[in-house]
Structure 1
Amino acid sequence: MKETTVMVNNKVGLHARPASLFVQAAAKYSSNIQVSCKDPDTKELREANAKSILGVLTLGVFQGMDITIKADGEDEAQAVEVLAELVKNNFGED
């Protein structure tokens, strides 16, 4: 299993277009990929399937929040690396 934590710096967080790009990128891999974050108020861990747009949207990730990307499978290292880079590069936005 591979895992990394990255901060979401995108203005709108992980919503609408960025979430769609994230899910599309995750879907290219055969590994089981999960994304999680801690609720900023309750500190409760929220987790979703990274290949589910509804799941990713319901995480409620805002700018400045850390997300953890975990992958388990034959292409886990590449999946985590590519998804982390997508987040670090603000989903191709300024």
Structure 2
Amino acid sequence: MTTRDVTIEVKQGAQASPVAKCVQLASQFESKIYVEYDTKKVNAKSIMGMMALGIVPGQTVKVSADGVDEGQAIDSIEKYLGSK
């Protein structure tokens, strides 16, 4: 299992687009991927779960992945969520 803290820098507007793109990205990997914020831990492949986190730019989340492509999965999620 690989875990990394990521500071959110992707802009979220009124649309769910950034969350949907993150879910699509996570779904490309075989590994189980989770995002944690405060006391909530959700499956990164679940759009409802990701929307329920209510994360905004500037917050730091913990991203974890477990599986054969966990390193690549963590790198991709971090690159997306941390992009400006």
Same fold flag (TM > 0.5): yes
Q: Specify the alignment match of 1:19 in structure 2.
A: 19
Structure 2: unaligned runs, 5 residues or longer: none
- 2:42 maps to which of 22, 39, 48: 48
Q: Which aligned pairs between 1:1-94 and structure 2 lie closer than 5 A?
A: 1-12=1-12, 16-38=16-38, 45-90=39-84
Letter in 1 for 2:29: Y
Number of residue equivalences: 83
Give the partner amino acid of 1:48: V
Matched position secondary structure for 1:63: coil
Shift of 1:63: 1.9
The runs of 4+ residues in structure 1 deviating greater than 3 Å are none
Q: 5+ unaligned residues in a row in structure 1: which ranges?
A: 39-44
Distance apart, 1:9 and its partner CA: 2.0
Q: What CA distance in whole angstroms lies between the structure 2 residues aligned with 1:25 and 1:32?
A: 12
Cα distance between partner residues in 2 of 1:8 and 1:71: 17
TM-score by length of 1: 0.82
Helix, strand or coil at the partner of 1:36: strand
Counterpart-to-counterpart distance in 2, 1:67 and 1:54 = 17
Q: Percent identity?
A: 34
RMSD: 1.5
Report deviation, 1:11.
3.7
TM-score under structure 2 normalisation? 0.91
1:10, 1:30 → 2: CA distance? 24
